[in-house]
C-alpha cells in the first residue's frame, strides 16, 4: 500500500470495497427477483431472453457507477477500493486451479498452449504490419502489439518500459482494447447460444478470441455462471492462464523488435529474455498450479463433496465482487478519446482474432471435452 502505512492503506480500501460487495449482493438478489418476471410477451424475459445473471448485473452496475453516477471519475474515497479489482480476479483464478487435476491440465494444457501461441504471435505480427502501414510510432505499435496479442492491461503495462512508451500511449492502447473487449464481452454469450456451443467450445473460443483476462472471465461466467469442472469458465480460464504465461515471451519479442529499429538505444539492447522472465513472469499462475496440485492430491475435498461446493461458492463470490470493479474500469469517455489510428489497429486486430477463433471452434473443436 502506498505511503499511508498498512493500516491507512487497509482503511482506504474499505469504502470502495464495501460498495463492490454491496453491489454484488444486490446483483444476486436482482437475478433471483427478475427470474420469474415475464415481459413483452416473453416468459422469464430477463433470465431466458436477456440471459441476465449476477455477473452481467454486477458488470453493468459497475459501468453505471463510473459513467453515469460518478460521471467518468471514481471519487477519490472509493478509488482504492475499486483498485482491488485485479486482486479479486487473480485470487479467483488461483482458486480456480482447484477444479483441475494435473492430468486434465496436461491434456488440455498442450492444446491450449499451441492454439494460444499461434493466435498471440499472429496478432503481434498483424499489429506490427498494420501499425507500420499507418505510420504509427514504434513505441505505440509495441504496446498495441502486447495489448492485442496477449491480454490488454497487464501486457501493455509490462511492455511499456521496454519500448519506452509514454503513459498516454499505454492508456490509449488499454482504452482501445478494453472498448473492443466490452463489445465482445456482451455479445459472446448470445453468439455462443446462437451457435449452440458446448461449454468446452465456448471456453476455447472466448479464451482465444477475447483480448482481456477479466473480460474472458466475464464472458465465460455470463454464458454459464457455474464454477465447476466442465463449465465454460473452467475451459476459458485454462486458455487465459496459458496466455498470461506467455506475457514475458511476448514482452521479449516486442522489446527485441523495438530496439532492432532503435540501434542507438543501448539500455534496451541489453535486455535479455532471462531478465524479462525474472521481472515479468506472472507468479500468481504458480498459485493456480499449486491449487491444481493440492486438488490432484485430494487435499481440497472430493469432487462433489460439500467442501468443494463451499469452495466454489466462495470463488463465485470473489469473481462477482471483481466483476463490479471490472465494470467500473470501463470508461466510455476514454474509449471515445482513444480514436484514430490505435482504434483502427485495435478494432482490426481484435475483430480478426475474434472471428478466426470462432471459425476455428466451428471447424476443429469438438463439442465434448476431455474433462
Residues that bind other proteins (CB under 8 A): 1-2, 9, 12-13, 66, 73-74, 76, 79-80, 82-87, 90-91, 93-95, 98, 153-154, 157-158, 167, 171, 174, 196, 198, 282-284, 286-287, 290-291, 294, 299-302, 304-307, 309-311, 314, 318, 328-329, 331, 334, 366-368
- Hey, how many other C-beta atoms are within 10 angstroms of the C-beta on 68? 10
C-beta of 118 vs 359, nearer to other proteins: 359
Euclidean distance between CA atoms 188 and 87, whole angstroms: 25
Residue 338 gets the label, from left (phi > 0), alpha (psi -120 to 50) or beta, of alpha
Say how far residue 10 (Cα) sits from the centre of its chain.
Answer: 26
C-beta of 130 vs 365, nearer to other proteins: 365
Euclidean distance between CA atoms 27 and 181, whole angstroms: 22
C-beta of 130 vs 185, nearer to other proteins: 185
Grid coordinates belonging to 274: 532471462
C-beta of 148 vs 155, nearer to other proteins: 155
Q: Smallest gap, in angstroms, from Cβ of residue 171 to other proteins?
A: 7
Q: Smallest gap, in angstroms, from Cβ of residue 165 to other proteins?
A: 12
Distances, alpha carbon 245 to alpha carbons 27, 128, 209, 322, in Å: 32, 21, 17, 21
C-beta of 268 vs 300, nearer to other proteins: 300
Among candidate residues 361, 340, 359, the one with its CA nearest the CA of residue 131 = 340
Q: Smallest gap, in angstroms, from Cβ of residue 10 to other proteins?
A: 9
C-beta of 156 vs 254, nearer to other proteins: 156
Q: At what angle do helices 85-96 and 213-223 cross, to 10 degrees?
A: 60
Euclidean distance between CA atoms 38 and 6, whole angstroms: 50
Grid coordinates belonging to 128: 506490427
Q: Smallest gap, in angstroms, from Cβ of residue 125 to other proteins?
A: 26
Euclidean distance between CA atoms 190 and 210, whole angstroms: 15
Helix or strand run (H / E) with residue 337: helix 332-337
C-beta of 82 vs 119, nearer to other proteins: 82
Q: Smallest gap, in angstroms, from Cβ of residue 107 to other proteins?
A: 18
Q: Smallest gap, in angstroms, from Cβ of residue 352 to other proteins?
A: 26
What is residue 370's three-state secondary structure? coil
Euclidean distance between CA atoms 110 and 132, whole angstroms: 33
Q: Smallest gap, in angstroms, from Cβ of residue 263 to other proteins?
A: 29
Residue 167 · residue 157 · CB < 8 Å = no
Q: Smallest gap, in angstroms, from Cβ of residue 61 to other proteins?
A: 16
Euclidean distance between CA atoms 325 and 63, whole angstroms: 9
C-beta of 39 vs 77, nearer to other proteins: 77
Amino acid at each position: 500500500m502506498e505511503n499511508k502505512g498498512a493500516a491507512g492503506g487497509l482503511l482506504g480500501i474499505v469504502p470502495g470495497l464495501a460498495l463492490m460487495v454491496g453491489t454484488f449482493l444486490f446483483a444476486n438478489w436482482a437475478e433471483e427477483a427478475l427470474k420469474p418476471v415475464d415481459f413483452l410477451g416473453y416468459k422469464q424475459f430477463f433470465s431466458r431472453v436477456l440471459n441476465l445473471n449476477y455477473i452481467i448485473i454486477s458488470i453493468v452496475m459497475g459501468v453505471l457507477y463510473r459513467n453515469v453516477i460518478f460521471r467518468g471519475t471514481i471519487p477519490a474515497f472509493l478509488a482504492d477500493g475499486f483498485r482491488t479489482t485485479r486482486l479479486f480476479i487473480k485470487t479467483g483464478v488461483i482458486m480456480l486451479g482447484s477444479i483441475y487435476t494435473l492430468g486434465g491440465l496436461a491434456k488440455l494444457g498442450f492444446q491450449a498452449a499451441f492454439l494460444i501461441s499461434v493466435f498471440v504471435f499472429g496478432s503481434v505480427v498483424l499489429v506490427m504490419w498494420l501499425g507500420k502501414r499507418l505510420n504509427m510510432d514504434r513505441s505505440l505499435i509495441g504496446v498495441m502489439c502486447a495489448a492485442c496479442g496477449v491480454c490488454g492491461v497487464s501486457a501493455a503495462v509490462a511492455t511499456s518500459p521496454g519500448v519506452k512508451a509514454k503513459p498516454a500511449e499505454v492508456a490509449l492502447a488499454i482504452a482501445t482494447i478494453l472498448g473492443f473487449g466490452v463489445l465482445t464481452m456482451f455479445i459472446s454469450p448470445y453468439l455462443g447460444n446462437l451457435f449452440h456451443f458446448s461449454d468446452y467450445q465456448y471456453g476455447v473460443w472466448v479464451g482465444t478470441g477475447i483480448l482481456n483476462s477479466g473480460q474472458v472471465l466475464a464472458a465465460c461466467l455470463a454464458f454459464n455462471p457455474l464454477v465447476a469442472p466442465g463449465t465454460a469458465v473452467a475451459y476459458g480460464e485454462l486458455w487465459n492462464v496459458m496466455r498470461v504465461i506467455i506475457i514475458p515471451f511476448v514482452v521479449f519479442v516486442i522489446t527485441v523488435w523495438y530496439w532492432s529499429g532503435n540501434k542507438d538505444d543501448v539500455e534496451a539492447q541489453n535486455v535479455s529474455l532471462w531478465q524479462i522472465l525474472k521481472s515479468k513472469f506472472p507468479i500468481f499462475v504458480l498459485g493456480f498450479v499449486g491449487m491444481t496440485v493440492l486438488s490432484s492430491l485430494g487435499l481440497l475435498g472430493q469432487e462433489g463433496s460439500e467442501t468443494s461446493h463451499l469452495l466454489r461458492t466462495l470463488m463465485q463470490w470473489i469473481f462477482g465482487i471483481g466483476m463490479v470493479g471490472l465494470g467500473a474500469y470501463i470508461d466510455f469517455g476514454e474509449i471515445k478519446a482513444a480514436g484514430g489510428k490505435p482504434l483502427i489497429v485495435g478494432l482490426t486486430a481484435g475483430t480478426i482474432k475474434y472471428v478466426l477463433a470462432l471459425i476455428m471452434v466451428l471447424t476443429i473443436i469438438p463439442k465434448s471435452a476431455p474433462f
